[in-house]
Amino acid sequence: MALRICKAVIKDNKIISSARTVDQLLEFIKPLLMDDEQGGKEESFEFEEGQESVARLVHMIAHPSNADNYYDLLLRFKKMFSKGGVARQKYTYPALFFALIRLSVFINYPPEQLRAEEVKADNDGDFEAEPAPTVQASQPKIFKNLSELIGALQSSQPDLTLRLNLQAAQAINNLRQVTGLEDQAYEFMSNAYIIFEEEVTESEAKVVALNLIVSTLYTLTCFGGDNFDTLSANAVSYSNKLLKKNLQAEAICLASHLYFCTSRKQGT
């Protein structure tokens, strides 16, 4: 029944913007979010289908004009997802991660006006009157939540979390104002290096990971000179440590681009 409700909401394809609706929905689909208290187990394909449907629900959360309400709705999902265990979180946390990045963009580029044709409400196109949320959205809070989501997945999903760290750093770089967030961006990049060093073991996988790190770092302009120099030097150092000479040469050649990239040209 929970999966049928989930699919029906997805098929309806309406933005979910009401805290009341979110609470009711989370209660209805609770069997998909937490283990059966009686110890029953789902078939793997049923479990996967259910978690993918829940992840799709997260992307239907939005608010047309109030970032605090938007943030409050996402935190309600986060609170429930945190009780679901790692097996579920590998599906639900990445969805929540990108929903929070979308909120960051919403705060960074607030809508100038509402266009009725673009905003679907829960009840006949009108948003329900809601009490003021008790939380306040801000960029530092959003990226702190992203860090927490990544931390919860890191031990079980290192490849995924390496990419999420890079995505988070890129999201900070895309903001109009990154004042106060450079340290957070540096932490995301540092975590990507730590995962690379400790979790990625195969040579071919290391090359792929280094390509991702260098390609992301090449586009970033949110770092000061010292931080960028350190991150660039790390990329060259790790490239030099690859075991196969041909892969080593390829990686060093790629990393060398960091010494004449956008950030260097801008003098940061």
Range among 6-10, 129-133, 201-205 rated most confident: 6-10
User: How far apart, in whole angstroms, are the C-alpha atoms of residue 129 and residue 20?
Assistant: 10
Sign of the C-alpha dihedral, residues 239, 245, 249, 254? negative
User: How far apart, in whole angstroms, are the C-alpha atoms of residue 255 and residue 94?
Assistant: 28
- Which tens digit of pLDDT belongs to each residue from 150-196? 999 999 999 999 999 999 999 999 997 777 899 999 999 999 999 99
Residue 95 near residue 59 (C-beta atoms within 8 A): yes
pTM for the model stands at: 0.87
pLDDT given for residue 176 in this prediction: 79
| Average confidence (pLDDT) over 135-145 | 94
56 pLDDT band (50/70/90 cuts)?
A: very high
